[in-house]
Amino acid sequence: MSRSTSGWITHRWTKWAVLVVALVLTGIFGSLGSRLTEVEDNDVGSWLPGSAESTQVIEQSSAFSDPDAVPAVLLYTRPGGLTPQDLAAVAEDAKEVADVDTVSAPVVGPIPSEDGEAAQLVVTLTVGQDGWDALPDLVDDLRDVAEDGAPDGLTVHLAGPAALGADQADAFAGIDGILLLAAVGVVVIMLLLTYRSPVLWLIPLFCGVVSLGIAQGVVYLLADAGLTVNAQSAGILTVLVFGAGTDYALLLIARYREELHHFEDRHEAMAHALRHAGPAIIASGATVVVGLLCLLFAEMNSTSSLGPVTAAGIVVALVVMLTLLPALLVIFGRWVFWPLVPHHGDPDRGERTMWGRIGRRIDRRPRTVWITTSLVLAACAIGIVQLNATGLSNADTFTSDQPSIAAGEVLAEHFPGGAGNPVQVVADADAADDVAAALGDVDGIAPGTVTEPVVRDGLAYVEATLADPADSDAAADTIDRARETLHTVDGADALVGGATAVNLDVQRASSNDNALIIPIVLVAVLIILGVLLRSIAAPLILLGTVVLSFGAALGLSALIFRHLLGFAGADTSFPLFAFVFLVALGIDYNIFLMTRVREEALRHGTRRGALLGLAATGGVITSAGLVLAGTFAALATLPIVFLAELGLVVALGVLLDTIIVRSVLVTALNLDLGRHIWWPSRLWRTDGPAKTPPEQSREAVRT
C-alpha cells in the first residue's frame, strides 16, 4: 500500500465512517445472504458438464417425463418366501401410494422376484419447488404408508434415486449452521490462545461474521443472476471466508501490535502496519482469488461455479479485514490487548522469540536442514500411491451407514443390480425400433427389460435395466458398450444417459479438469509471486516447496483415509480441489514470510533478513495456520466422504506449510542460497546496504 492509501486511518473521522458503512452493508447483504438456500440448485443436472452425453439426455428426456420426478423403489422382503397375505398387502399399498399427492405417475408393480422372497413397487415422486430438500419428507411419507399395516415378518425397504437423494439431503441439512458453529469455535479458541486477551478476540470475530454475511449476500446475487450455487459450494464458502478472513486479521493485528512499540499515536501505528503488511495481505488474497478463478476452466458445472463463489468470499473478507478491522482497532485503542498491552518504547523481542531461536539453529547447517526436510516430505508423498481417486460408489460416499444404501444392497440380492436406476436412451423417432433392438443386445443389459419406445415430437425414449449394480464398474462398462453400439445405428443420433452414465461422465470430466486446471493454477501463482517478489528464482523455489508440501499432505492423507478411517477411495475431483486449496492457501504463508524477509534484507542483507523475518512472522503465521486448519477440519464433521477428506487434507497440508515448510524448509533455503534467491533483481546484486561477507554476516546473527 502507498503512504497515501495506508494513511486514511490517520483521519479521526474516517474510522467512524467505515464502521457505519460496514454496518449498513451488513444489514443489506446479510438479509440477502439469509435467503441463499432459496437459490441453491442441487439437482443432478446442475453439477454435470454441459457437453456430457448424460446431461443432454436429461435435457431431452424432459419431453417424456417431469424433470422434477424422481423414482423410488418400495421393496418388501420375507426370508423363505412371501405369503399370499404379503402379496395382498403389497397390492393394497400400491393403491394407497398411488393416491399420495406427490406421486406423479402410475405405480408399477407389485413385481415379484424370481426367488419369491421379495416384491417391489416402482413409485415416481415429484419434488416440486423445494427440489432435493423435499425428498426426506416425501420418502418418509412413502415409508409410513408401506409400514402401516404390514404383516408381521414382512420387512419394508426404500431404495432407488429418491431414497439416496433423501439421505444426501439429510447429510447436508444444517451444513451452514454446523460449519459456522465449528468455525467460530475454532477461531475463538485460537484467538484466545494467541493474544491471551478476553476482549481482543471479539474484534476479528465480529469482522469475520460481517465478512460472511456480506459474502453470502454477494453470492446470493450471483446465484440470482444465473451462477450455479449448491450446498457443497455454500458450505465451503463458510469455512473459507472464516478461515482465510481470520488469517488476514491475525497478520494485520500482529504488525499493528509491533508498530505500537514504535509510535505513540495508534493512528500512525496502524498506518504503518497497513503500509507494510497490507501489500502482503493483498497479494495473499489475490493469489487465492486467482487460484480459485482458475476453476472456471473446469468442465464440471459444480467445480466451475465453485470458483466465483469462493473467490467472491475471499474478496469480501480481504476488503473487510483491511478496512473495518483497522478502523475498529483504532477506535478501541491499545487497551483491547489487555493484559499484554503494547506500549510505546517497549523493547522488541526480535530474535529472542521461539522462532528466532529455531532460526539460529537452522542457520548452523542450513543445507543439511533443507535437504533432509525435502527428503522427508518426498517420502511422505509416496503415500499417494494409496490414493484411489477413481470415484466412489454410492455406499462409499457416506462416512456412516445410510438406509438407502442398505436397501439398495437388499434390492440387488433379489432383482437385477440396476433395478431402480434405468439406462435412459433418447434417439430419433424414425430409428426407435432399431435402437430398442440394439439396446437389448448389449452385454450387461438385463434380458427382457428394454421398454417399448415412447415417441414424441420427433424423439424416441427407451429405458432398460442394468444387470449389475448401477454404481459398479461393470455397469459403467455396460454404458460404454451401449454408447458404442447405439452410436452406430444409422440415423438414430442416440444418446445414452441415466444415473450410471451420469457417474461415468462426472468421473471423466473430473479427470480432464485435473489435467487442465492444475498447470493453470501453477502458472498463475508463479506470475503473482514473480511480480510481488521481483524475482525469478524465489517464486520458482517457493512454488516448488508448496508443491512438495501438497504431495506430502496428499500422501499422508491417503494413508489415513485407507488405513485409519477405512474410506474406500476418493472422488475423482478430490485431487483438484485439494491442490487448488492447498497451493492457493499454502502460498499465503510463504508470501507473508518472504515479503518480510525482503523488507529486512533491504536493510540487513538476505541471511540476517531471513532470521529477522522468521522471528517476526513465525508466531502469527503459525497461529493463522492453526486457525485455517481448524476451520477446514470442521468439514470432517459432515457424513460426506468427499468433504471429510477435503477438510482433512487441507488441514494437514496447512499445518505442514506453516510449521515445516515455511519455518524450516524456506528459511533454510534462504540461509543457504543467500542473495541468489533474489535473482535477477537488484537485491541479488546488492544484498542490502552492507557488503558483509556471508561468513561474517552469519556469525553476527548468531551473536
- For residue range 102-138, what is the model confidence (pLDDT) as tens digits? 776 677 778 888 788 888 888 877 776 556 667 787 7
Check if the beta carbon of residue 162 is closer than 8 Å to that of residue 139.
yes
Mean pLDDT of 678-692: 67
Q: How confident is the model at residue 234 (pLDDT cuts 50, 70, 90)?
A: confident
Query: Minimum mean pLDDT among 6-10, 436-440, 544-548, 632-636: which range?
Result: 6-10
Rounded distance, CA 118 to CA 155, Å? 9
Report the range out of 134-148, 383-397, 460-474, 646-660 with the highest average pLDDT.
Answer: 646-660
Check if the beta carbon of residue 622 is closer than 8 Å to that of residue 658.
yes
The two most distant CA atoms of the chain are separated, in Å, by 99
Percent of the chain with pLDDT over 90: 7
Mean pLDDT of 225-229: 79
Is pLDDT at 691 greater than 50 in this prediction?
Answer: no
> Which triple of cell numbers denotes residue 699?
556469525
> Which triple of cell numbers denotes residue 623?
497461529
Sign for the CA dihedral angle at 186, 190, 196, 197 comes to negative
Angle value at C-alpha 311, between 305 and 315, nearest 5 degrees: 150
Give 509-532 pLDDT, tens digit per residue: 888 888 888 888 888 888 888 887
Looking at residue 699, what is its pLDDT? 38
Rounded distance, CA 703 to CA 667, Å? 19
Rounded distance, CA 361 to CA 89, Å? 79
Is pLDDT at 538 greater than 80 in this prediction?
Answer: yes
Among 631, 629, 648, smallest CA distance to 640 is for: 648
Looking at residue 417, what is its pLDDT? 64
Rounded distance, CA 468 to CA 500, Å? 11
Give 19-34 pLDDT, tens digit per residue: 888 888 888 888 887 7
Return mean pLDDT, the chain. 81
Rounded distance, CA 554 to CA 427, Å? 44
Place of cell 421393496: 75
* DSSP secondary structure of 392-442: --TGGGBSS--HHHHHHHHHHHHS-TTTTS-EEEEEEGGGHHHHHHHHHTS
Query: Minimum mean pLDDT among 234-243, 342-351, 493-502, 647-656: which range?
Result: 342-351
Give 153-197 pLDDT, tens digit per residue: 878 888 877 788 888 777 766 666 666 777 777 778 877 777 777
In eight-state DSSP terms, residue 447 is T
Check if the beta carbon of residue 124 is closer than 8 Å to that of residue 70.
yes
Among 241, 239, 245, smallest CA distance to 191 is for: 245
Query: Minimum mean pLDDT among 223-227, 269-273, 653-657: which range?
Result: 223-227
Looking at residue 380, what is its pLDDT? 92
Q: Mapping DSSP to helix (H, G, I), strand (E, B) and coil, where does residue 229 land?
A: coil
Give 597-624 pLDDT, tens digit per residue: 888 888 888 888 888 888 888 888 888 7
Mean pLDDT of 30-50: 71
Distance, first Cα to last Cα, the chain? 35
Rounded distance, CA 73 to CA 324, Å? 54
Q: How confident is the model at residue 354 (pLDDT cuts 50, 70, 90)?
A: confident
Report the predicted TM-score, pTM, of the whole model to 2 decimal places. 0.78
Residue 437 CB coordination number (10 Å): 11
Among 159, 253, 220, 304, smallest CA distance to 34 is for: 220
Give 443-472 pLDDT, tens digit per residue: 888 888 888 888 887 888 888 888 887 778
In DSSP terms, 70 is beta-bridged to 125
Residue 447 CB coordination number (10 Å): 9
- Which residues, including other chains, have CB under 8 Å from residue 376's CB and lie 6 or more apart? none
Q: Return the HEC string of 54-108.
A: HHHHHHHHHHCCCCCEEEEEEEEECCCCCCHHHHHHHHHHHHHHHCCCCECCCCE
Among 196, 319, 329, smallest CA distance to 269 is for: 329
Among 564, 563, 561, smallest CA distance to 574 is for: 561
